């Protein structure tokens, strides 16, 4: 695991020659380093609104021009009496994202469809209370370990660790009180073009919510204290970026992701079976009856798991296939073809809804992606505006390391040691067709 600035690539024009006259060029040589430092600090989250702390500063979101904005408002209190805030990120296109500092929950993603109508494309609840009482991980950050660990245990450096078992005999999404249920410290960052800077590029502005949480030694059974940070950023390119970082004081395992349920026709529009999905994955990890990977990597060719070309979700979901019967549909990790472990963002998936004309592109630095087709959503899952989320009314595209990696030595490692840094990035870009 290597340390790098996630956002250096945003300044792609940094090395281009300055076309201005020579006298001005000499002047710029004296001020460019300072300007570059300001841009770099803003892009990498180096300047936080520390004075705001939880509840952050707010900016006027009324104008649909210029860089994205971020505002905050109280959202309620937890059962323990802690105050919770809701943050609103809005860009120049009208795209609006709302995120809570409880669980890093993305409660709403509003985006204009092909007719210019704002559509909320993620499942969720209207109230904080519904999230506190719910169990579907709607829109949350999950960890310390996303997905399943077999038997709720793993061995690291000749020591066996017993984790909370909250999925039958297995450990799921960090346990009984995973990262989806904790209150994160929140800071806001707004950055935009610097007037007069030669590095000013259209749409360079962004608004970010930086969430930090300290998971103490022994929490849900995990070894080591984990200092985690998640940066959620909205750009004027309709990109929703998730940057994850973590460090530890003792060897541990970590695997973080965002558990959003997507329906590009609108959260209350019904089934996602007509959505078209493309995955850059030639293999997947088959599972046993407990949805734990067997350790094998199966080729998708000739199976219902072949999404290498755009395919309707519902085209083969009910096929006579043992793996589909086990999952009740798709609930499987796909092995991304182009992953090399170099930390570069690569296209992993593309989801499209023909009715709204909206398409979601997922880029990630991770080796895997869990496709979950909302198989166990049911009538008890009452969502926003009273919508009833039935089976397969939303799907998840969870970028991740593979499930049960701590017990599968052939899988890419999820071990984090003191002095190293866990880094991961996923970009969810929404386009209109």
Contact between residue 419 and residue 304 where contact means Cβ atoms under 8 Å apart: no
Tokens of 288: 């046993």
Starting at the edge strand found earlier in the chain, the sheet holding 281-285 runs 298-299, 281-285, 331-336, 368-372, 396-400
60 Cβ neighbours under 8 A, 6+ residues apart: 69
Q: Distance between CA atoms of 135 and 142, rounded to whole angstroms?
A: 12
What length does the chain have?
433
Catalytic residue among 258, 398, 401, 425: 398
Q: Distance between CA atoms of 141 and 232, rounded to whole angstroms?
A: 11
Pairing of strands 415-416, 252-253: antiparallel
CB burial class (10 A; 0-12, 13-18, 19+) of residue 74? exposed
From the list 134, 145, 226, the residue with the least C-alpha distance to 181 is 134
Contact between residue 108 and residue 97 where contact means Cβ atoms under 8 Å apart: yes
Provide the terminal-to-terminal Cα distance of the chain, rounded to the nearest Å: 37
Q: Distance between CA atoms of 423 and 416, rounded to whole angstroms?
A: 10
Catalytic residue among 7, 125, 259, 401: 259
Whether 219 is catalytic: no
Whether 276 is catalytic: no
From the list 306, 307, 287, 312, the residue with the least C-alpha distance to 297 is 287
How far is CA 425 from its chain centroid?
8
From the list 79, 78, 180, 168, the residue with the least C-alpha distance to 137 is 180
Dihedral of CA atoms 229, 62, 117, 314 in degrees, nearest 10, equals 10
Strands (DSSP E) found in 327-394? 331-336, 346-352, 358-364, 368-372
Positions annotated as catalytic residues are: 259, 398
């Amino acid at each position: 695991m290597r340390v790098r600035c996630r956002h250096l690539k945003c300044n792609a024009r940094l090395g281009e020659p300055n076309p201005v006259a020579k006298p001005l060029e000499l002047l710029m040589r004296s001020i460019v380093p300072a300007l570059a430092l300001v841009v770099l600090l803003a892009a990498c989250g180096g300047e936080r609104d520390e004075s705001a702390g939880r509840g952050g500063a707010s900016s006027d979101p009324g104008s649909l021009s210029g860089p994205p904005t971020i505002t905050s408002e109280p959202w309620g209190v937890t059962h323990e009496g802690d105050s919770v805030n809701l943050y609103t990120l809005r860009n120049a296109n009208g795209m609006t994202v709302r995120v809570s500092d409880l669980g890093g929950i993305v409660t709403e993603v509003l985006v204009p469809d092909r007719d210019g109508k704002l559509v909320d494309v993620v499942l969720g609840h209207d109230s904080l209370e519904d999230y506190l009482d719910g169990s579907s991980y709607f829109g949350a950050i999950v960890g310390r370990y996303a997905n399943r660990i077999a038997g709720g245990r793993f061995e690291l450096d000749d020591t066996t660790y017993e984790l909370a078992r909250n999925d039958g005999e297995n450990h799921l999404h960090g346990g009984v009180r995973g990262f989806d249920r904790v209150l994160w410290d929140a800071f806001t960052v707004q950055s935009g073009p610097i007037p007069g800077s030669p590095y000013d590029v259209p749409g360079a502005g962004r608004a970010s919510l930086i969430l930090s949480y300290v998971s103490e030694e022994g929490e849900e059974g995990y070894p080591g204290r984990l200092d985690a940070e998640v940066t959620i950023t909205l750009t004027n390119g309709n990109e929703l970026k998730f940057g994850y970082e973590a460090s530890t004081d003792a060897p541990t395992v970590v695997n973080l992701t965002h558990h959003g349920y997507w329906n590009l026709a609108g959260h209350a529009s019904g089934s996602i079976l007509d959505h078209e999905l493309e995955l850059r994955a030639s293999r997947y990890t088959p599972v046993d009856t407990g949805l734990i990977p067997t350790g094998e990597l199966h080729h998708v060719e000739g199976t219902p798991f072949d999404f290498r070309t755009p395919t309707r979700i519902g085209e083969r979901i009910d096929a006579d296939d043992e793996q589909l019967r086990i999952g009740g549909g798709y609930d499987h990790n796909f092995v991304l073809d182009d992953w090399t472990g170099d930390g570069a963002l690569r296209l992993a998936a593309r989801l499209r809804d023909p009715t709204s004309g909206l398409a979601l592109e997922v880029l990630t630095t991770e080796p895997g992606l869990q496709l979950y087709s909302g198989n166990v959503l049911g009538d008890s899952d009452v969502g926003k505006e009273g919508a009833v989320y039935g089976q397969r009314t939303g799907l998840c595209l969870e970028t991740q390391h593979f499930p049960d990696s701590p017990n599968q030595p052939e899988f890419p490692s999820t071990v984090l040691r003191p002095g190293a840094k866990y880094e991961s990035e996923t970009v969810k870009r929404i386009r209109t067709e």
